[in-house]
Amino acid sequence: MRSDLTARARIRDAALARFGADGVAGTSVRAVAADAGVSAALVLHHFGSKDGLRQACDEYALEGVDSEADLAEVLQAATPVRRYLARSLLDGTESASALFDSIVARTESWLAKGEAEGWVRPGSDARARAVTYVAWLLAPLVLSGHVGRHLGGDPAETSVAVRGAVAGLEMLTHGLFADDRFLSAFKGVGDG
């Protein structure tokens, strides 16, 4: 419940929503403060600056990447985080690059752990696999208008995100192609 959140958490949540809608550059500390029902001075007291607030949002988004919580709870709580990630990654800032790099590194570790435990198939290029996997996961958010037209809603919303995730996981789990003609063709180009 929103009233149960600390002032710091309310400010962070307001910033996630506002940054997700308007971008970091298009958002003022005053707007975040108004959305959180606090003064701009309290925002600065807790976070030091708008950049400090953005950094707190990045850290919160990354916690979701590492979350071991119930999947349904994570998905329900993640709509503002998904919108924030989509907008942040399009900013083209050093912060956006650092956020993407962190997500890739965490994903590469997670996939390596899965490979060691036997639930991820070995691949020939662990870094490329992690980058591609992250790009596939984030693409619906970055292309939200186009994806939403075809899936019937905002990809940041849970029901649409789940619809896309199920289709993607079916392809990743069971495969898409029945033979290796495309893989062989691309490997042949790389060898030449």
Single out the residue of 129, 169, 131, 165 nearest to residue 147, CA to CA.
165
Query: Which spans in 23-142 are helix H?
Result: 29-36, 40-47, 50-65, 71-77, 79-90, 94-117, 126-142
Q: How many CB atoms lie within 10 A of CB 15?
A: 28
Note whether 87 and 21 are within 8 A (CB): yes
pLDDT at 82: 82
What would the two tokens of residue 152 be? Answer: 């019937």
2-191: CATH topology: Tetracycline Repressor; domain 2 (1.10.357)
Torsion sign (Cα): 110, 112, 113, 115: positive
pLDDT at 89: 85
* Domain locations in the chain as residue ranges: 2-191
Note whether 3 and 51 are within 8 A (CB): no
Spell out the per-residue pLDDT of the chain, length 192, in tens: 344 579 999 999 999 999 988 989 999 999 999 999 999 999 999 999 999 999 999 888 887 666 555 555 555 667 788 888 888 888 878 888 888 898 899 899 999 999 999 999 999 999 999 999 989 888 888 888 899 999 999 888 888 988 998 999 999 999 889 999 988 998 888 665
pLDDT at 1: 35
Q: How many CB atoms lie within 10 A of CB 128?
A: 11
Rounded to whole angstroms, how far apart are CA atoms 123 and 108? 12
N residues, the chain: 192
pLDDT at 4: 53
